[in-house]
Amino acid sequence: MKVLALLHTENNILPRAALETISVARSLGGELTIAIFGGSAATAANTLAGSGATKFLVVEGEAFLQPRYSTDTAAATALIKAANPELILAPNTSRFARALPGVAQRVGAQVDTHIVGITAEGNSVKVQRWFYRQRILTTFTRVARPWLLLVDGGIQAPYEGASGTVTAESVPVTQVDSRTTVNGVQAPAADAQTIRPDAQLLFVAGAGWTKKQKDGQYHIGEASTLIQGFLQKAKASLGSSKSLVDLKSEGQETLSFMSHMNQIGQTGSTPRHQKGLSTCCHGEEPHAVGWRFITERRAINIDANCGWAQGKADVVYIGDAF
């Protein structure tokens, strides 16, 4: 089976997700080609010299430094056509999640995303992915080739192999007249960044923090101080329930540092952290679906019958912050 690992660089190096994809590709066997686009793609190829790939393809150039649908699809299409693979593996980064489903259309490939498991026996490949927001797990296959798979992070350890010097073939890309200009990345100030994907702990605050407390008063200022202090000391990533971030968009006073970006669950993210601590969140299914990949779960709640206590958390503490 001809396998293509399709990667992109980020700040001129391969991101962790790309190295995990290499591990997945190596686990399948077959004839491996590695294709990379973005800044310093050829240099990045050298770091995969020991991967066992038989061929390296790269696309470099000013147009491919920034994530942008029109240029990314052009680069990926050129690389796939040059490699002519049966199976294409790519990391499910925001850049590829945006571009590769469109690329599949251009190269006549089948495409499946959010792959969390993959096995191969000869040319037969089986994959696993969730449906209905991490509520139903499926195992399936396709006969048609090529088949493009966007692999979720964390299903394999990142590839760690020897660097060297490889001969990377530069693939030409037809010039793209893009109508989109990338202005840059908007990132919160380092001390204001509350979303930390690599943190060991996910701390989730629910709407309970903003309710009237036992004394009949709101304690939103105190809640902000407590949460931010905890995040700083625990070096945790901050998540939120939908109901809490919705308060902000409805104009109610709430935690100023919280946005929809922090939202975990049905319409939020499904992060991967070793541990998760939920506070003041009732733990109903729409919240809990975002916790599918949190290994150890604990919750603090004033209600002993909350959703977390119904088999969704390992430990539930009945308590109150105020």
Partner 1 sequence: MSNGFQIVVCGSLVPDPLQTLEPVTTPQGPGLKNETMLPSVLDPWSAHALFEAANLAKQVAGSKVWLVSLGPKAKLQQLMMTVAQKVPFELIAIDGSASGFTDAQQVATALAEAILAIPGLDKSKLLVFGGCASASRDASVTMQSVCERLGISEFFAGVDEIKASADGSFRVLERIEGGQYLDSTCAGAPAVLAWATGNLPEPPNNPQVGMMNMRGVMPALQKAKPAPVGVGGIAYEKVEIPAQKRATRVVKDVTAEDIAKEIIEWLKA
Judge whether 164 and 34 are in contact, CB under 8 Å.
Answer: no
Of 40, 46, 110, 213, the one binding partner 1 by CB under 8 A: 110
Those residues with Cβ within 8 angstroms of residue 299's Cβ, 6 or more apart along the chain or in another chain: 277, 278, 279, 281, 283, 306, 308, 309, 312, 313, 315, 316, 317
Pattern 209-228, partner 1, x by CB under 8 A: --------------------
Q: Token digits for 313?
A: 């958390």
Q: Which of 87, 85, 93, 69 is nearest to 19 (CA)?
A: 93
- Measured from the CB of residue 242, what is the shortest distance to partner 1 in angstroms? 9
252 half-sphere exposure, CB direction, 13 A CA radius: 12
Of 142, 163, 164, 253, the one binding partner 1 by CB under 8 A: 142
Of 172 and 184, which CB lies nearer to partner 1 in the complex structure?
184
Distance CA 3, CA 83 (A): 9
Distance CA 237, CA 200 (A): 8
Q: What is the DSSP string of 164-178?
A: ----EEEPP------
Strands 2-8 and 87-91: parallel
Per DSSP, the three-state class of 269 is strand
Pattern 145-174, partner 1, x by CB under 8 A: ------------------------------
Of 33, 51, 93, 254, the one binding partner 1 by CB under 8 A: 93
* Residues 192-211 interacting with partner 1 (rule: CB under 8 A): 193-197, 200-201
Q: Token digits for 68?
A: 């942008």
In angstroms and rounded to an integer, the radius of gyration of the C-alpha atoms of the chain is 22
How many of the chain's residues bind partner 1 (CB under 8 A)? 94
- Measured from the CB of residue 135, what is the shortest distance to partner 1 in angstroms? 5
Identity of residue 101:
P
**With binding defined as CB under 8 A, does residue 282 bind partner 1?**
no
Of 244, 277, 280, 294, the one binding partner 1 by CB under 8 A: 277
**With binding defined as CB under 8 A, does residue 139 bind partner 1?**
yes
Q: Which of 50, 2, 57 is nearest to 30 (CA)?
A: 2
**With binding defined as CB under 8 A, does residue 183 bind partner 1?**
yes
Locate tokens 């390992």: which residue? 314
**With binding defined as CB under 8 A, does residue 272 bind partner 1?**
no
Distance CA 109, CA 102 (A): 10
**With binding defined as CB under 8 A, does residue 302 bind partner 1?**
no
Judge whether 321 and 279 are in contact, CB under 8 Å.
Answer: yes
* Residues 13-42 interacting with partner 1 (rule: CB under 8 A): none
Binding segment (CB under 8 A) for partner 1, from list 31-39, 47-55, 215-223, 256-264? 256-264
- Measured from the CB of residue 149, what is the shortest distance to partner 1 in angstroms? 12
Of 112, 154, 158, 226, the one binding partner 1 by CB under 8 A: 112
Binding segment (CB under 8 A) for partner 1, from list 36-44, 50-58, 62-70, 204-212? 62-70
- Measured from the CB of residue 169, what is the shortest distance to partner 1 in angstroms? 27
Judge whether 168 and 57 are in contact, CB under 8 Å.
Answer: yes
Binding segment (CB under 8 A) for partner 1, from list 35-43, 53-61, 163-171, 283-291? 283-291
**With binding defined as CB under 8 A, does residue 175 bind partner 1?**
no
Of 106 and 163, which CB lies nearer to partner 1 in the complex structure?
106
**With binding defined as CB under 8 A, does residue 243 bind partner 1?**
no
**With binding defined as CB under 8 A, does residue 303 bind partner 1?**
no
**With binding defined as CB under 8 A, does residue 314 bind partner 1?**
yes
